Amino acid sequence: MSLCFEMRVTTCSLFILGLLWDSVRAENTLSSLRATAAWEGELPCRKWDCECAFKRQRGCCCAAPELQEVEDQIFVRVMNLLTDMSQLDDSILEVIGGIRVAFTASMSHRTNCFGPFTRNSPIPYDVITLNHGSGYNPALGIFTAPRSGLYSFSFSVYSKVGKEGERMYYKVQLMRNGEVVASTWEDNREDSEDSSSQTVLLSLQQGGQVYVELLNGRQLCGIAESLNTFSGSLIYSTSK
């Protein structure tokens, strides 16, 4: 009888010690979770549910719902962080050159005049010093936008006559998808040489084309390299 009672006491003591050890481990786990997640709130329960522990199952803790809430919030934070990192990666790619678009080209030196022609003709800026994004085609003299966005375009024109009294007669215009957006011209017998330039900002859809053309019946003469130029660059891209 005494031995049985002692065995029961010993068994009960071991059972209680087991519960206490589980409690310590659970508290350490909860502290680790809070530290890892930088949890700033207060959990409403910091003790074991002894009624649950003795009558239903060992390790039953009234803080389990709060632990689940902490886990769910950690998961949400990690997913948001991954999304932010992905967006940042896209932004960095744009800044460091993932979508670099810029070109500069000029007409090579000519001993004869360019023109006159019987129809408007794109000017062949065949000396390329920059062509990031490969948007400019020197064979056609046409820039094709590799992506939608706001672009800056500039062109300069130079021409001179062979001798005094000859007529200075040219008109050059910047075209966007076949429509005139800017132009410059000269028509007189007083100047032996003349130059002019234009700069514009244009919105382009992907595939939009921009070029500079000489109007029919006009001509450019005395062309020296780097005096007749065409350049453009992407200022910022748009989604459409």
CATH class given for the domain over 100-237: mainly beta
pLDDT in tens, 139-191: 999 999 999 999 999 999 999 887 766 777 889 999 999 999 999 988 876 77
The b-or-e profile of 23-43 (16+ CB within 10 A means b, else e) is beebeeebeeeeeeeebeeee
Q: How deeply is 169 buried, as exposed, middle or buried, from its count of CB atoms within 10 A (0-12, 13-18, 19+)? A: buried
Q: What pLDDT is recorded for position 7?
A: 45
Q: What pLDDT is recorded for position 10?
A: 44
Give yes or no for a contact between 181 and 175, defined as CB atoms under 8 angstroms apart: yes
- 45 Cα distance to chain centroid: 48
Give yes or no for a contact between 177 and 87, defined as CB atoms under 8 angstroms apart: no
Placement of tokens 């009558």 in the chain? 55
Evaluate if residue 15 carries a pLDDT over 60.
Answer: no
Return the domain boundaries, the chain: 2-97, 100-237
Average pLDDT, the chain: 77
pLDDT in tens, 63-115: 566 667 778 888 888 888 888 787 776 666 555 555 789 999 999 888 788 98
